[in-house]
Amino acid sequence: MFPFSYSLSGKKNIFIIIFSIIFCLISIEYVGSVEKGEEIFQGNCAGCHTVGKGTLVGPDLSGVTLRREENWLIRQIKDPDGLIAEKDPAALKLLKDFNMPMVALGLSDTEIAAIISYLKNIDKNKNTDQGKTSTTDLPSRYIPTVLISILILIVLTLIALIAGRKKVK
């Protein structure tokens, strides 16, 4: 099939490389999801909510992914009136505190997941940093570029290894 022979370790190496590529692509998708979530949040949610800057019309969402379960957040974003109709205690408290129900924005499941990823990322960073900033941190907008560059290096290395293993007749 191939002009060179495979050993078991060669198949294992190819499996490891394929797994690494898949991992890189998943990482890129996660970063894209966080950035897309920020964009969706700014376009749809920031008129009523802030993250760490106090209350506006609705509550400050800083730490919300630590206080609430993800399924509850999804339902609150997707169908806030449904939670109120079911007499959900947390939804009723929010209604009492802010005298206004949250508006259902008609967001897709993918958009809601991106917003939650964005909020989780903020909460995770606040939880680990505790206000500390570092000048050596890589800005998140460069992470996809770095991951793609690493992926290209892996692929080129694999091509070179395969080409170097070909038997000369």
How buried is residue 142: exposed, middle or buried, by Cβ count under 10 Å (0-12/13-18/19+)? exposed
Mean pLDDT of the chain: 78
Total length of the chain: 169
Rounded Cα gap, residues 42 and 40, in angstroms: 5
Which of 110, 153, 145, 117 shows the shortest CA–CA distance to 21? Answer: 153
Report residue 54 as tokens: 């106090």
Question: How is the chain split into domains, by residue range?
Answer: 8-130+141-165
* pTM (global) more than 0.85: no
Mean pLDDT of 33-58: 85
**Residue 121 binned pLDDT confidence (cut-offs 50, 70, 90):** confident
Gap between the Cα atoms of 98 and 130, Å rounded: 28
Tell me which fold the domain 8-130+141-165 belongs to: Cytochrome Bc1 Complex; Chain D, domain 2 (1.10.760)
Q: How confident is the model at residue 1 (pLDDT cuts 50, 70, 90)?
A: very low
Distance CA 34, CA 100 (A): 28
